[in-house]
Amino acid sequence: MYARDLVSDLIPVLRTSNTGIEAIQLMDEARVGHLPIVNNESFLGLISEDDIYDLDQPEQPIGNHRLSLPRPFVLEHQHVYEVIRVMWEEKLSVLPVLDQHQNYQGCILVQDLLGHFAGLSAANQPGGIIVLEVNQTDLVLSEIARIVESNDAKVLSLYVGSPVDSTRLDVTLKLNRMDIGPVLQTFSRFNYVVKATFTEGEYTDDLRERYESLMRFLNV
């Protein structure tokens, strides 16, 4: 999926003629903490609630104030992974999307991004989760998939992360079945380290930490 596929029709744009008070009202109505400022089709920057609260005269047009606004954006043809990266790094509630001529096309809502990520990671489908810990040099995804499939299961999604200051990798698997016992036994026979597991109604400490990190991101 590309950035243009996630553009929302619900995000208003600000003009330099809008006042700070009007901007806050629009943010409240849209339930976002940022709004784009657009001149015709040109994206000028992204203004936040904090920027507006810092204005000496919020009843004056935004264009009357000397603001140094950040200008984060993605191009409409960029992949959703780039959208996730920029929104995470910039801690944004909305992310502007521009076309190849740098014209403003709309914004992506963090809630819509989360919904897409849920589908991308198969989070909205039933199934067990296994987190393996492997050395970087030992990671063979085809072998991991073969072990899962040898137990009449399928990998719905897989992602790899690297803990800070570690030469090992966390490989998170979402399977299409809740009974993951046979898969765990096979991983054990092949000397894989199972770092964490999750089945319906049960969180391990590791997965709870991941969930809480996601919730902190959504509250930016």
Per-residue pLDDT of the chain (220 residues; tens, 9 = 90+): 789 999 998 899 999 999 999 999 999 999 999 999 999 899 999 999 999 999 999 999 999 998 889 999 999 999 988 998 999 999 999 999 999 999 999 999 988 887 776 666 556 678 899 999 999 889 999 999 999 999 999 999 888 888 777 789 999 999 999 999 999 999 999 999 999 998 865 544 455 555 556 556 555 5
C-beta neighbour count of 74 within 10 angstroms: 22
What is the structure's pLDDT at 148?
A: 96
Q: 172 burial class (0-12, 13-18, 19+ CB within 10 angstroms)?
A: buried
Q: Cα dihedral angle (37, 58, 54, 31), rounded to 10 degrees?
A: -60
Q: For residues 74 and 89, is the Cβ–Cβ distance under 8 A? A: no
Does the domain made of 122-218 have the CATH classification 3.40.50.2020? no
What is the structure's pLDDT at 203?
A: 46
What string of H, E and C letters represents the secondary structure of the chain?
Answer: CEHHHHEECCCCCECCCCEHHHHHHHHHHHCCCEEEEEECCEEEEEEEHHHHHCCCCCCCEHHHCCCCCCCCCEECCCEHHHHHHHHHHHCCCEEEEECCCCEEEEEEEHHHHHHHHHHHCCCCCCCCEEEEEEEHHHCCHHHHHHHHHCCCCCEEEEEEECCCCCCEEEEEEEECCCCCHHHHHHHHHCCCEEEEEEECCECCHHHHHHHHHHHHHHCC
What is the structure's pLDDT at 214?
A: 57
What is the structure's pLDDT at 124?
A: 64
Give the pTM: 0.66
What is the structure's pLDDT at 6?
A: 92
Domain chopping of the chain, boundaries: 3-118, 122-218
Distance in angstroms (rounded) separating the CA atoms of residues 151 and 154: 9
What is the structure's pLDDT at 16?
A: 94
CATH number of 3-118: 3.10.580.10
Distance in angstroms (rounded) separating the CA atoms of residues 132 and 155: 14
Question: Nearest Cα to 132, choosing from 144, 149, 123?
Answer: 144
